[in-house]
Structure 1
Amino acid sequence: MGRESWTSQRIALRRHPDGRVSPTDFAVEDQPIPQPGDGEFLVRILAVSVDPMLRIFIDPAPMAGAMPPMPVGSTVPGAAVGEIVETRHSDFAIGDIVEGRFGWQHFALSNGAGVNRVDARLGAPENALAIGGLPGFTAYAGLEVADLKPGQTILVSGAAGAVGSAVGALVKARGIRAVGIAGGEEKRRYLLDNGYDAVADRLAPDFKEQLAQALPQGANVYFDNVGGPMLADILPVMAPGGLILVCGLMAGYQGDEQTGRDNLPALLRAIMFKGLRIQAFSQYGKDALRPAFDDEVAELVGSGKVKPQLHIEQGLERLPHALAGLFERSVPGKVVVRVAEPSDAVPTKIFEESE
């Protein structure tokens, strides 16, 4: 299968979202298939990651104006996994399965910067966008900062999401007790089956009581993926000297968070009387951790100790709908859009079913 049979399209930003993101903020456009130059290779995208952080980058004033807005008409960025179909790069061959920030499109050129080969032990290539990719590496980097010891307890908000799921899987393998926060019975069951020792249902009327029961000794680390007013409910169950680790602020990404209360006084009191620490972190600049992460996660998935949970949609045009859906109706695990099937050039053993 070659160029003559391929479709080449991209998803472009039609306008910056006004409040809640809508599929109409994006446009599907045809584009030519590029030719690799010296030191480059052409990737045919197989699957694209759908991540809530993208909402920040497409905002008209990202981070309250601290970042320049993405130009209208640009290809939407994002992590993806694909196969190399043409190459003029000495270190990458046709048929290699790779993961990188290739964007919302069918084809991408790369010089290899920021590109990772997909370990065959991960099974389906989409797993390189879940625990084997950016969400898993984010969880891994955060746990390096947390420096938890066996016998300690971590509390995770948004625990059924892509990063939260990865946190639970990684800490279970390390002998750390994990308590998750999620909404609804389906997510509670999912978390209990995937590394969490207890789950508090944020939608339940007795949510605070569930937290207290699950954390009789308090949480040594709160891994916060959500932000928002929930923080005030977490402070009473933090252990003295505990760490609040800020990974994400999904509750505020759409710019429409209405808390109705000021959490700062309670936060400052907890910091003073419990000796709490608050630290934000990012996986960016942590490339030195990547080899150890790749090996640990590949072993966990390959051995069956971790079974990645994927929610897969089909077709490039579904990407805008999938992004809007993250904020409207969350699902357990990692959301991925499959945009193409592998060609005959790709080793079939990499595509064994793992869902």
Structure 2
Amino acid sequence: MTDTTQNTRVLLASRPHGEPTSANFRIESVPMPEPADGEVLLRTVYLSLDPYMRGRMNEAKSYAAPVELGAVMEGGTVAEVIQSRDPSLKPGDMVLSHLGWQSHGVQQARHVRKLDPARAPISTAVGVLGMPGFTAYAGLLEIGRPQSGETVVVAAAAGPVGSAVGQIARIKGARAVGIAGGAEKVAWLEELGFDVALDHRSPTFRDDLKAAVPDGIDVYFENVGGHVWEAVLPRLNTYARVPVCGLVAHYNETEPREGPDRSARLMSAILTKSITVRGFIQHEFVKSHYKQFQADAAEWIRDGSLRHREDVVDGLENAPDAFFGMLSGKNFGKLLVRVGEDPTR
């Protein structure tokens, strides 16, 4: 039986050097927090695991502050209100929240968003209808701006962001070429309706990509870096657009890779082909695009043109191992930790 007097939480115990390990985390139980006026006590149902969390483990300067040593690991959550001291929410309400890696937590009511389980499964609030889906939508449509008939290539295409990118590209009339790792993921992309699905682990990957884009690449949605980017770069067309969402192939690196410095080649390609390369963080588009995203995505899900897949791991104690697996591409779809019972299912 769950102890209703204790909060279980996963803390950042030390900063990783290279790949993170279980030694970088510490699990502890502490007394349940008490909400103050205007606050709610929440029970975590789903914890979202996402690649950006690896960067938050580092102390280096980035677009967001690192997780402090001894603090709860960062993360988006779907939670149930179990105690409320704000009239806008009541016990039993389901909310989108940001509790991080813990079983319970207190947040100000104005900082959570009430969910309607009748509209969509609550897990989608941290998936296709949440940050990953919005990242795909905003990055592709605002930076990539695909036109009908153009070719869009996306890396990590079987993940929650990449799969949405390819499907939205198809909705907008573009060709979608997805790159993933392994036959099972490639088959999933074909089922989703990608025009071409490629396995980056194949020894013939470079030739396969060349054959898949006979007219070059107009938009490349970057999630990975590494050898995938090296294969894509020569195929980029004049005026190509490259939204840079992530570089998961490099997150665990501690020093520059061996080999020649390719920066001059990259800058030459950007100059001579007038390529636009722009990094972005999804929250910069929230005010301008989020409302329309919610309307568009809900409609696309209803008509079947935007599909999603979830990879659910049970138990908060298994979050670190699931996180390690995600960084090496072992997850298949949106990775969630089911921390507690989902009362809507």
Query: Would the TM-score normalized by the shorter structure come out above 0.5?
Result: yes
Secondary structure of 1:193's counterpart equals: helix
| Residue equivalent to 1:49 | 48
8 Å CA contact 2:51–2:248 kept in 1: the answer is yes
CA shift at 1:228, angstroms? Answer: 2.7
| Residue equivalent to 1:163 | 161
| Structure-to-structure mapping, 1:95-174, within 5 angstroms | 95-120=92-117, 123-143=120-140, 144-174=142-172
8 Å CA contact 1:14–1:73 kept in 2: the answer is yes
8 Å CA contact 1:150–1:175 kept in 2: the answer is yes
CA shift at 1:274, angstroms? Answer: 1.6
Q: 1:67 to 1:81 in 2, by over 3 A?
A: closer
CA shift at 1:259, angstroms? Answer: 5.3
User: Could you tell me how far apart the structure 2 residues matched to 1:214 and 1:170 are?
Assistant: 19
CA shift at 1:159, angstroms? Answer: 1.1
User: Could you tell me how far apart the structure 2 residues matched to 1:116 and 1:177 are?
Assistant: 35
User: Could you tell me how far apart the structure 2 residues matched to 1:136 and 1:320 are?
Assistant: 23
8 Å CA contact 1:100–1:114 kept in 2: the answer is yes
Amino acid corresponding to residue 278 of structure 2 in structure 1: Q
CA shift at 1:67, angstroms? Answer: 6.7
User: Could you tell me how far apart the structure 1 residues matched to 2:152 and 2:119 are?
Assistant: 26
Tell which deviates more after alignment, 210-219 or 255-264. 255-264
Q: 1:331 to 1:67 in 2, by over 3 A?
A: closer
CA shift at 1:120, angstroms? Answer: 3.3
User: Could you tell me how far apart the structure 2 residues matched to 1:52 and 1:4 are?
Assistant: 31
8 Å CA contact 2:67–2:74 kept in 1: the answer is no
User: Could you tell me how far apart the structure 1 residues matched to 2:120 and 2:70 are?
Assistant: 35
| Residue equivalent to 1:240 | 238
User: Could you tell me how far apart the structure 2 residues matched to 1:68 and 1:188 are?
Assistant: 36
| Residue equivalent to 1:190 | 188
CA shift at 1:69, angstroms? Answer: 4.3
| Structure-to-structure mapping, 1:217-296, within 5 angstroms | 217-256=215-254, 258=257, 260-288=259-287, 289-296=289-296
8 Å CA contact 2:181–2:329 kept in 1: the answer is no
User: Could you tell me how far apart the structure 2 residues matched to 1:246 and 1:293 are?
Assistant: 19
User: Could you tell me how far apart the structure 1 residues matched to 2:79 and 2:182 are?
Assistant: 34
| Structure-to-structure mapping, 1:316-355, within 5 angstroms | 316-343=316-343, 348=344, 351=345
- Out of 82, 86, 91, the residue aligned to residue 85 of structure 1 is 82
- Structure with the greater relative contact order (CA < 8 A, sep ≥ 6): 1 or 2? 1
Secondary structure of 1:31's counterpart equals: strand
Secondary structure of 2:284's counterpart equals: coil
User: Could you tell me how far apart the structure 2 residues matched to 1:204 and 1:168 are?
Assistant: 21
User: Could you tell me how far apart the structure 2 residues matched to 1:122 and 1:204 are?
Assistant: 40
CA deviations 1:130-154 (Å, max 9, x no partner) are 1111111111110222222222221
Q: 1:37 to 1:327 in 2, by over 3 A?
A: same
Aligned residues: 342
| Residue equivalent to 1:37 | 36
Q: 1:113 to 1:324 in 2, by over 3 A?
A: farther
- Report the RMSD for the aligned CA atoms in angstroms: 2.3
Q: 1:11 to 1:196 in 2, by over 3 A?
A: same
**Structure 2, unpaired ranges of 5+:** none
Q: 1:184 to 1:4 in 2, by over 3 A?
A: closer
Amino acid corresponding to residue 41 of structure 2 in structure 1: L
CA deviations 1:207-266 (Å, max 9, x no partner) are 111111111111111110012343232122112111111111111111247353422122
| Structure-to-structure mapping, 1:66-81, within 5 angstroms | 69-81=66-78
8 Å CA contact 1:122–1:301 kept in 2: the answer is no
User: Could you tell me how far apart the structure 2 residues matched to 1:194 and 1:6 are?
Assistant: 45
User: Could you tell me how far apart the structure 1 residues matched to 2:114 and 2:121 are?
Assistant: 13
Tell which deviates more after alignment, 47-56 or 16-25. 16-25
Secondary structure of 2:177's counterpart equals: strand
8 Å CA contact 1:81–1:125 kept in 2: the answer is yes
| Residue equivalent to 1:28 | 27
Amino acid corresponding to residue 263 of structure 1 in structure 2: R
User: Could you tell me how far apart the structure 2 residues matched to 1:132 and 1:261 are?
Assistant: 42
CA shift at 1:164, angstroms? Answer: 0.7
| Residue equivalent to 1:12 | 11
Secondary structure of 1:166's counterpart equals: helix
Secondary structure of 1:189's counterpart equals: helix
